[in-house]
Amino acid sequence: MKVSLLVTCLSDALFPEVGIATVRVLRRLGIAVDFPQAQTCCGQPHFNSGYHDDARVLARHTLRTFANGQTVVVPSGSCAAMIKLEYPHLFHEDPVWHPRALDMARRTHELSDFLVNVLGVEDVGARYEGKVTYHMACHLRGLGLRTEPERLLQRVKGLEYVPLERADECCGFGGSFSVRYPGISGAMVQDKAAFIEKTGVSAVVATDAGCLMNIAGCLRRRGSAIRTLHLAQVLEKT
């Protein structure tokens, strides 16, 4: 099987190790991965802020870049949700692009969705020594992926899984929200960090670079030594 990787702009620029880990996990499972070089950003920031014409420009760019008909794997629920749920909506009245949007929506999968629901794999053969907890990214709720990442984590050898209080409460990232309302967003991420610290883990896992940069930035500010890891980074380890 062959898939195309949509690495997301945040991972590309800020956390390339997430993309690398994703590639390694997929390859270990016998999946060939290619990386369409023209990819940039899926347009979600524009869409969420209401600039829908600009979002359509970026959506068309992404649709063109991934027009090869292959399965697309995204290590981010947020970008996957943009493609799966919002692209068809954005081109609702466009006879040319709507079918293309529907097509890409159908073959795009967030990483844990791809592993568990497409490949049917929960044990990816990973080993990670340590106590970790898991924060549920909000867009996984939108995609209906309520248990997939936890199921993957629980099959990692050596990993001690500690549930997080209010795990599915938003960390306060929300893209432009975090910059428009730093007070509210800051209060949210401070609470999230406090709950994480309470678990006594050495690392917190999430599936989205947005949540990770927010939570990591806050843990650092609090002087905490807890690491933040993308799910792929845990699944990568053997």
Partner 1 sequence: MNSYAQHEHHDFLNAVRQALADPPLQAALVRLTSTLMAGNRRGYAALADIDALRDHAKLIKEHTLAYLDRYLEQLEMSVQKQGGHVHWASDAEEARQIVLGIARQTNSRRIVKSKSMTSEEIHLNPALEAAGLEVTETDFGEFIIQLAGERPSHLVAPAVHHTRESIARILSKYSGETLPDEAQALAQAGRRLLRQKFAQADMGISGVNFAVAETGTIVLISNEGNARLTTTCPRIHVALMGIEKVLPRWGDLPVFLKLLARAATGQALSVYTTLITGPRRRGETDGPEEFHLVLLDNGRSRVLATPFRESLQCIRCGACLNACPVYRRIGGHAYGGVYSGPIGSILTPLYDSVVDNPHLPHASSLCGACQAACPVKINIPHMLIGLRELQTHQRGKSRWEKLTYHLAAAVLQRPWLYRLGLRCARLVLRPLAHEGWLRHLPGPGTAWTEARDFPAPAPRSFREQWRQLR
Site for partner 1, rule CB under 8 A: 7, 9, 11-20, 23, 35, 37-41, 43, 45-52, 54-55, 57-58, 61, 89, 138-139, 141-142, 168-170, 172-190, 213-214, 216-218, 220-221
Smallest gap from Cβ 155 to partner 1, in A, equals 25
CB 208 within 8 A of CB 143: no
Q: Is 209 helix (H, G, I), strand (E, B) or coil?
A: helix
**Nearer CB in complex with partner 1: 120/183:** 183
Q: How large is the angle between the packed helices 52-65 and 97-107, nearest 10 degrees?
A: 60
Q: Please report the sign of the dihedral spanned by the C-alpha atoms of residue 195, residue 199, residue 200, residue 205.
A: negative
Smallest gap from Cβ 35 to partner 1, in A, equals 5
Enumerate residues 6+ apart whose C-beta is below 8 A from 163: 133, 134, 199
**Nearer CB in complex with partner 1: 123/165:** 165
**Nearer CB in complex with partner 1: 41/162:** 41
CB 233 within 8 A of CB 208: no
Nearest-angstrom CA–CA distance, 69 and 63: 10
Smallest gap from Cβ 103 to partner 1, in A, equals 20
Smallest gap from Cβ 71 to partner 1, in A, equals 19
CB 33 within 8 A of CB 3: yes
**Nearer CB in complex with partner 1: 12/150:** 12
Structure-block tokens of residue 179: 């910059």
Nearest-angstrom CA–CA distance, 61 and 183: 35
Smallest gap from Cβ 43 to partner 1, in A, equals 8
**Nearer CB in complex with partner 1: 159/228:** 228
Pairing mode, strands 203-206 and 227-230 = parallel
**Nearer CB in complex with partner 1: 128/173:** 173
CA 187 to chain centre: 23
Smallest gap from Cβ 85 to partner 1, in A, equals 9
Comparing CA positions, the residue from 116, 88, 114, 85 lying closest to residue 101 is: 88
Smallest gap from Cβ 79 to partner 1, in A, equals 13
CB 140 within 8 A of CB 77: yes
**Nearer CB in complex with partner 1: 63/152:** 63
